[in-house]
Structure 1
Amino acid sequence: MDPSPPRAPVIPRTEPDPRDAATGPLWRAAQAFRLVTLLYAVGQQIASAPHYTNQRLSWVLIAVMAVWSGVSAVLLSQWRVHNVRRVRIAVVVGDHLIVIALIFATRLVANYDWYHNHQALPTTLWAANAVMSAAILWGPLGGIASGLLIAAVMVTARAQWDLDLWRDATTPVLVSVGLAIGLAANTARRAQEQLQRAVRLTAAAQERERLAREVHDGVLQVLSYIKRRGGEIGGPTAELAQRAGEQEVALRVLISEQGVGADAGGVEQDLRPLLTAQSTPSVLISTPGEPVPIGRFEAREISAAVASALANVAQHAGPGAKAYVLLEDTGDELIVSVRDDGPGIPSGRLAEAEEQGRMGVSRSIIGRIAALDGTAHLLFEAVGEDGSGAEWEFRVPRRPRQ
């Protein structure tokens, strides 16, 4: 015997698919309409039965119509069934087959003069249920195709392919119903998708804020402490302080990008969060009140250039120096200024560093901005008597909106 314990039965997932959940109210409303049209069809049968040549068969067909209306109404209005979409497709296809069969069955219960000049056994209103179901399931194109199919079957069964066809309202009514319900179904699906996206973004933002708090309380504070103490101690620890400062800035950018990437959902994103994420007690960030959308690549390159400039401030301007970042959007270009109140950069120091093979500024700042067809200028380079500090100005032209 198998000693392993019996496995628990697998319970099928009954949660609705978002697209099915969006159209749930439409399905239920359509089934209410189906039952109302069934009552109309029964009333029409009572009035028309005396004129039929086979009244008994007509009542049998009405009974089939009533049974199918009940079965289809129950199946289409429920979503807590396994493979609900397959069930609905099967019911909608069966709906069309039943309607078509009943329309042609009119010839079995009435003579030519009657079915040529009166409604078919399943009235136009009841036949519209198949069109509505197709429209909800497949959208406006499916609804229009269904309307044209049912209208063509009715015209064929009633032998109305003549000039009187253009005075009959069957075709425009059925096509209009398919178009209107199909558009409503598509609108409901889009609204559901937008709602779910908003819920996901809200959850992501909350998780990002929680993660940022935890990281700020732990890792960022440790990195900030290492940067500050390493700068104070000097010597071999200065390089450790520099690396800690760079990682602190990179980690702040990473935290901000966790939400921006999911939030944009397109080819552009707001540049402001990438810059404000680099704010610290010694780094003040000022951005416009309105979003500054820019391409993802451009946004990250500008953010990285600012991060490199701030890292240089932290390394060379002294432990008490403050940095100020200003973002301006003129419409034609973006202007980013990074200024500090440190001692400034001696004239020719950058050129000297580049000759020595130290490519940090030329690659991480000037190179990044140049890759965006922009310019990076060091406005204050010489050491001022009042310690005016240094100021970088990045100018990046705006590309056409996509």
Structure 2
Amino acid sequence: MSVEQPLWHALTGYRLLAVGYAITVYVWALDHFRHPVPGAVYLGVLTVWTLATLSRVSSARRCTKSFLAVDIALGVVGILLSVYVDAAGAVNPTIPTIWVAGPVLAFSLKGGWRWGGAASVLVGIANILEQGEVTRPTLHNVLLVCVASVGIGYVVEVVRASERTLAQALQIEAATRERERLARDIHDSVLQVLAMVQRRGTALGGEAAELGRMAGEQEVALRTLVSSGLVPAQGSPPGREQDEPLAAGAARGGSGGGGRRIRPSVKRRPGRGGGTGGSGTGGTGAGGVTGGPECDLRPLLSRHAGAGVTFVEPGAPVPLPEPAARELAAAVSAALDNVRHHAKAPAGGPAHAWISLEDEPDAVLVTVRDDGPGLPEGRLADAEAEGRLGVALSIRGRMRELGGSAELVSVPGQGTEVELRLPKRAAGGSAES
């Protein structure tokens, strides 16, 4: 409901009370009027008009310009008719009394402070003509109506501008979320295939090298498209897979060269590696992939266990709504994919990765770390500027839509750690610890 709608409801109630007050005042002073019949007829018409047009003052759309013109004309006629009905000036209020403020307020709600100011001036002129001179009470009443109408009109204009801004912001947010989702899917599929074709084609040579070169050019163009037109920095190899290395292995919360290295006591499970995407950092956001049937998160993560990946899990199932569990598993796949492509162990071979799954009372925590070389300072920002959006999309975007968070801590020479935290309430509140 519009923020201004309660003002229209209040105006409807005001008009009913005002017409009742006008009738009461007229009947109370009936013996003092010189020509009471015309005044009674006018109040009858005013009452019928007020009751018949209640729907007209229920919203700005129904309150048309023609209605406003007739409405304020009826009020002005009542003010001027008071000169004839109360010729002796025995009764101070005009026949419509405070009812005339209703049309003025309707002008303010419909057209803003300028319309309200113009309507209040018109009513003020009619009051001065009815009195025959500018008196202090008359001027006081005119100014009160003018200030009230201008103030309410200004508030209405501010409210409408705020509503338009909010509507535009919501549209932009929805479009941005959808664009991030599409860009993430492209990043996790098409870009990876193009990068693989470029790399393998270069290695094979001949016609395959030309095909690889074309695939690399398309990868750069597509990355530029999904990153809102950012041009990759000069010197960046077009076929470089992923966005930035995930050289995980630092202890959670560590920083700098003095970070403490932690190796969990884990059991190895057979399985297959896999997954696509990139590594990431992130923050919290509104959950967008929640609800649905529950599934155990452990099998989705255990498939990554193998010669180069160690998976440690709790002994009990970790239930999550299936959409949230799959998105969380995809974020873990993104982190592992970067480990395979970029992280190298100190001895020169592929880095070893560890996945730790913890079922906390109020959240599910997944930690991915390896024994790679770590991330140089500023590497994440550079990767995003180059259009390599694994951090922004494959992990951070997923966790933001889930209502969780992604935190990356890197220790040069000792590795990096990605911590994915998904509150159970954000995931649907169905997981039990």
Contact 1:107 / 1:157 at 8 angstroms: preserved in 2?
yes
Task: Give, as a single letter, the amino acid of the residue that structure 1 aligns with 2:216.
Answer: G
What SS is found at the alignment partner of 1:157? helix
Correspondence 1:137 to 2:110: yes
What TM-score do you get using the length of structure 2 for normalisation? 0.52
- 1:50 equivalent in structure 2: 31
The count of corresponding residues between Structure 1 and Structure 2 is: 258
Q: Which residue identity is paired with 1:216?
A: H
Aligned positions of 1:311-322 closer than 5 A: none
> 1: CA distance between counterparts of 2:80 and 2:17?
23
Which of the residues 88, 113, 129 maps onto 2:64?
88
- Report deviation, 1:239: 3.8
User: Does 2:256 match 1:283?
Assistant: no
Shift of 1:31: 1.1
- Counterpart residue type for residue 122 of structure 1: P
Tell me: CA distance 1:176–1:328, structure 2 relative to 1, closer, same or farther (3 Å). farther
Deviation at 1:107, TM superposition (A): 2.0
Paired residue for 1:31, among 8, 12, 20? 12
Q: How much identity, in percent, do the aligned residues show?
A: 27
Q: Distance in 1 between matches of 2:188 and 2:279?
A: 24
- 1:76–1:88 Cα contact (<8 Å) kept: no
- The correspondence of residues 1-400 of structure 1 with structure 2, limited to 5 A, is 21-78=2-59, 84=61, 87-114=63-90, 118-123=92-97, 125-161=98-134, 164-165=135-136, 168-257=139-228, 281-283=242-244, 326=378
SS at match of 1:257: coil
Offset, 1:57: 1.9
Letter of the structure 2 residue corresponding to residue 207 of structure 1: E
Contact 2:195–2:240 (CA<8 Å) still a contact in 1?
A: no
Cα separation, partners in 2 of 1:112 and 1:104, compared to 1, 3 Å? same
Structure 1 residue 216, shift from structure 2 partner: 2.9
For the residue of structure 2 that corresponds to 1:113, the secondary structure is coil
Report Cα offsets for 1:135-186 as digits up to 9, x if no partner.
111111111111111111111122123xx24774211111111111102211
User: Quick one: distance in 2 between partners of 1:181 and 1:255?
Assistant: 46
TM-score, structure 1 normalization: 0.55
**TM-aligned CA deviation for residue 231 of structure 1:** 2.0
1:280 and 1:103, CA in 2 relative to 1: closer, same or farther beyond 3 A?
farther
Deviations 1:98-122 (CA, angstroms, capped at 9, x unpaired): 111111111231114336xx12111
Structure with a larger share of its residues in helix: 1
Residues 220 and 248, structure 1, Cα contact 8 Å, conserved in 2: yes
Matches of 2:210 and 2:31 in 1, distance apart? 102
Counterpart AA for 2:206: G
User: Deviations for 1:193-227, whole angstroms, at most 9, x for unmatched residues?
Assistant: 12212321232123113312332344223212222
CA contact (8 A) 2:244 2:380 kept: no
**Secondary structure of the structure 2 residue equivalent to 1:283:** coil
Q: Could you say what secondary structure the match of 1:253 adopts?
A: helix
Distance 2:58 2:223 in 1: 50
Aligned to 1:364: none
Contact kept, 8 Å, 1:282 with 1:323, in 2: the verdict is no
CA contact (8 A) 1:131 1:177 kept: no
Give the aligned residue type for 1:54: H
1:176–1:327 distance in 2 versus 1, CA, 3 Å: farther
User: Would you say the 8 A contact 1:139–1:183 is kept in 2?
Assistant: yes
| Per-residue Cα deviation, 1:60-110 (whole angstroms, up to 9, x for no partner) | 11111111212232222157xxxx35x522221211111111111112311
Any gaps of 5 or more consecutive residues in structure 1?
Answer: 1-17, 261-277, 290-319, 339-402
C-alpha offsets along residues 295-334 of structure 1, whole Å, 9 cap, x if unaligned? xxxxxxxxxxxxxxxxxxxxxxxxx9x99794899xxxx9
RMSD: 3.8
Shift of 1:287: 12
Q: Relative CO higher for 1 or 2, CA cutoff 8 Å, sep ≥ 6?
A: 2
Unaligned residue ranges in structure 2 (runs of 5+): 231-238, 246-277, 283-349, 351-373, 387-433
CA contact (8 A) 1:325 1:337 kept: no
